[in-house]
Amino acid sequence: MDESSETLSTGSPPGDSASPAAPTDAQGLLPLDGYFERRGFSTLWTMCGALVGAFVLFQLVVTPLALSALLAMRGVGLEALAADPGAIVAAHANLFLVANTIGQVLGLCLPAWWLARMHTRRPLAFLRLRRVDRSFALPAAAAFIALLPVVQWLSVANDAIPLPEFIREFEDSQMELIRQVLHVDTNLAFQLGVLALTPALCEEIFFRGYVQRQAERGLGVAGGILFSGIVFGLYHLRFSQVLPLAALGAFMAYLTWRTGSIWPAALAHFANNALAVAAGAYVARRPELEIEDIEQIGLPWYLIFLGAFLFILCILAMERAAAERGGNTVVPETLPGFLRE
């Protein structure tokens, strides 16, 4: 084992026998020597605080401020936005998307890195920004494809659940904003960048990187995966789509835990968002269609059962691949140099 691997497993510099070893994670690979750990901060309370803080920062502070600044640069004041939001969205759709992107980076991604830094001197490893064993690539991709019919069925089932009228009205206002943005002739590559790539990176770093790590520490592996999925479903504030979003979130949480890296989950997240953007672009060119028409497409029962069956087979294939490696998905010697500090 080289010196960097020893540092990773002991939490103290090689050869420094006088320095006590810092606590490590359950695998003994990650030194837990940050401020929160030294002060004994509760694992679950720091996670809950991160969720509340990131929600406020992203939704209520950074994104609105960024949008206000961008509109002001175009000579649009808040009074004009409040008076006729539809016209402002139609005229400046790109600014809304850019503001949301700024909000995700400053409200989710950077706070996740800072929070991880409060737990360990190796925040990137804490967030599972690691290489992935290629043996997981094919079954993970196949599992994502097989899960799509199940997710579509959950979408239809969730929409049939009665919801309070004020929630329906809130979601209708959300969908109207999305509809206006998609009907504006913006570049598809731009939409993929801000609606698919940015959320795939920022949300995964926050939810699967920080929140899931803390949930696993406080609730165990199964509890962490389930909690990460449920919170991911609720965080989007689309209560008529909580079940499919939670299912996708739990699957991406499992991928993160099993592979020891957030990159498979980020790829699955990007693929799902890209499909949604493509569907939205298709609907925008068909005046007779609405976004809800795509979300509520019914599938034959045999296709749903086939997807569920193939999904289980893919999960078993990943478990077998992990078992062949002795249950280890992260090998310190295979990490890139900047992670082997």
Least confident of 109-118, 166-175, 299-308: 166-175
**224 part of a folded domain:** yes
What was the pLDDT predicted at 170? Answer: 81
What was the pLDDT predicted at 117? Answer: 95
For the entire predicted model, the pTM comes to 0.83
What was the pLDDT predicted at 181? Answer: 67
**341 part of a folded domain:** no
- Residue 32, classed as helix, strand or coil, is coil
**How far is 55 from 251, CA to CA, in rounded Å?**
22
Residues with Cβ < 8 Å from 252, sequence gap 6 or more? Answer: 204, 208, 229, 232, 264, 265, 268, 269
Q: Does residue 341 surpass a pLDDT of 50?
A: no
What was the pLDDT predicted at 16? Answer: 41
**337 part of a folded domain:** no
**114 part of a folded domain:** yes
**How far is 26 from 99, CA to CA, in rounded Å?**
39
**290 part of a folded domain:** yes
What separation in angstroms does the CA of 199 have from each of 80, 105, 166, 266? Answer: 29, 9, 27, 9
What are the start-end ranges of the H helices in the chain? 3-10, 35-38, 43-55, 63-73, 78-83, 85-91, 93-104, 110-117, 123-126, 137-159, 165-183, 188-192, 198-203, 212-235, 242-259, 263-284, 291-295, 301-324
| Residue 67 lies in domain | 3-10+20-331
Residues with Cβ < 8 Å from 327, sequence gap 6 or more? Answer: none
What was the pLDDT predicted at 161? Answer: 86
Block residue for tokens 């979300």: 295
**336 part of a folded domain:** no
Q: Return the half-sphere exposure (C-beta side, CA atoms, 13 A cut-off) of residue 198.
A: 21
DSSP code at position 197: I
Mean local confidence (pLDDT), 248-259? 95
Cβ(252)–Cβ(268) under 8 Å?
Answer: yes
How does pLDDT run across 204-229, given as a tens digit for each residue? 999 999 999 999 999 999 999 999 99
The token pair at 19 is 């320095």
**How far is 113 from 341, CA to CA, in rounded Å?**
16
pLDDT greater at residue 3 or residue 85: 85
Mean local confidence (pLDDT), 64-85? 82
**272 part of a folded domain:** yes
If one counts the domains in the chain, the total is: 1
Q: Does residue 299 surpass a pLDDT of 70?
A: yes
Block residue for tokens 């592979």: 259
Q: What is the residue-wise DSSP string for 202-214?
A: HHIIIIIIIIHHH
What was the pLDDT predicted at 19? Answer: 42
**How far is 208 from 108, CA to CA, in rounded Å?**
12
How does pLDDT run across 160-217, given as a tens digit for each residue? 888 888 888 888 777 777 766 666 656 778 888 988 999 999 999 999 999 999 999 9
**178 part of a folded domain:** yes
DSSP code at position 333: G
Residues with Cβ < 8 Å from 305, sequence gap 6 or more? Answer: none
